[in-house]
Amino acid sequence: MIIVRNNKRADQFRDFLREDFAKPRVLSPVEVHVSELLAPRKAYWTRLLGERVTDEMIGLFATGEAFHLMLQKVAGVEYAEHEVKHCGVVGHCDLRPPDNEDTEIKTSRKWSVPADPEPRYVDQITAYMAMGDTPIGHILVLYITAGRRWDGKKASTMELVSWQIDLDAEERAEIRNQLVAEKDRLLNAVKVKNPKLVDLCPEWQCASIYKGEVQSVCPFYENECKPEGRYPIQVLAGDLDKQSERKPARAKSKRTQTPAQGGRTQTPRAQTLR
């Protein structure tokens, strides 16, 4: 028996993934997807210059999509990718089962499970809830390396955690208004070719930097975007060392605040599924 690594075969399948994820999206000139509003500056450059995919993005997308497809299959494919629309904003909720409680599916490589979901997860699910006018939603996160230790004395385990989000009618209306305003700003910025008319993306979208080492960079960061206050990379690296992730612009709403900041005490709450 002879066993050797076959990098040529690995590269072949990596190319398959790259080709699939790099397929150009058909972007409407009058409609904007929720995912674009979560990273508005990147959405601006994508609309002007087309989709760009890096090898680091492929690794993240492949893991996330595999988990999405698995959960959507077991929950019922007829409930998957539910489309919601509101005044030119379009979204696709991962799952909307018969109880009409929207569910957004995520994967994370964090070694420990946080007390609260990522603000960007909250912004995404609450956008779908507001557009569909549904009061209850869920964030379902698979932590694929939970419990891992630096010294290697403990193996990784998988933890599936669910947070429930509750939004009243006033909050849903507020979010809908925010989404429409952001959609209008993005389309106008593209029309007049002025990227500064839209907000910067959350910092983690610019680059992934761990302990001062650059892991990945947005494909528009270096040559086109050069985000103000975050360029060159040395500036961003210093900022991310202090705070690895900040809330996106829309997270100023009370829907992503903790109770201590004036948020509602029941939003969100977590349940670990094992």
CB-based burial, 47-80: b 16+ in 10 Å, e otherwise: beeeeebeeebbeeeeeeeebbeebbeebeeebb
Per-residue pLDDT of 236-256, as tens digits, reads 887 655 554 444 444 444 445
The pLDDT value recorded for residue 39 is 96
* pLDDT score recorded for residue 76: 87
pLDDT at position 41 is 97
Identify the segments of the chain with pLDDT beneath 70.
148-154, 239-274
pLDDT for res 70:
85
pTM for the whole structure: 0.80
What pLDDT, on the 0 to 100 scale, is given for residue 40?
97
Domains of the chain: 29-202 (3.90.320.10)
pLDDT digits (tens, 9 = 90+) for 131-162: 999 999 999 998 887 776 666 666 777 789 99
The reported pLDDT for the residue numbered 254 is: 44
